[in-house]
Amino acid sequence: MPPATADPRRASDHVFAGLLEALLSGRYAPGEKLPTQRTLAAEAGVTMGTLREALQRLEQMGLIEVRHGDAMRVRDWRRHGGLDVIAHLALGSSGLDPAVLGDVFEARGLMLRELAALAADRRSAGQATRLRELAAAVSEAPDQHAAQRLDFAFFTELAEAAENLVFVLIMNSIRSLYFEHAGRLPVTAAHEELAHLYVDAARAVAQRRPAAARRAVGLLAERQRERVDAALW
């Protein structure tokens, strides 16, 4: 487990990261009983209050079950984990996991394609206009970071236009992870070369052409994955 730090909040983060790594790596098997809270706190060199903050986060993620007293058991993260587990699996302290990242980008591409098709069927006039404005702004973005903000705004607007609450909530849930790891996952590298694909997708949505919207967004997702692969491997 990472060493303790003088800052209580940072200490809790360190304990959380260490325990999370142990859970996801299989150091503790599903159903296994964790050491007592007192033991974990002593090993980490932190107070019981700091430890409990970390445990609460793990419990909220569905990774452990805290029972009466100190009894805590490991839950199977494949059955109980959510989207917040993905970033830790793909971008954890042990390094990038190509297999998990591949799954992430495969799922991302499939989701974005369907978003585009639904948006083409359901978008309002105002949403079509905003998508075109966001698409046009990509080519004028001063740098990759600005382009990434526009990228997320574009796909968030696409989710709203699709009128599917689940997709909207997924975009909400991954927002912080997207920007936290934006530097490691440069989906908008050389964004000037991608700009026309946003424009093509926005045009297809505005013209209510689902198949064309799906193709344009699918190609954009593929080009973005190629940029990440080139940067990482």
Find tokens 């325990």 and name the residue.
19
Angle, in degrees to the nearest 10, between helices 210-232 and 191-206: 160
pLDDT confidence of residue 140: 94
Interval 160-174: pLDDT, tens: 999 999 999 988 888
pLDDT, position 2:
46
Q: Among 34, 57, 81, give the residue marking a domain's end.
A: 81
Last residue of a domain, one of 59, 81, 103: 81
Q: Where are the beta strands (DSSP E) in the chain?
A: 64-66, 72-74
Last residue of a domain, one of 18, 53, 81: 81
**pLDDT single digits (tens) 51-102:** 999 999 999 888 999 877 658 999 998 888 877 787 777 665 555 567 777 8
> What is the Cα–Cα distance from 194 to 139, expressed in whole angstroms?
8
Kindly give the parts of the chain with pLDDT less than 50: 2-3, 5
Largest CA distance in the chain: 63
Query: Residue 175 has what pLDDT?
Result: 84
Domain that holds residue 142: 87-232
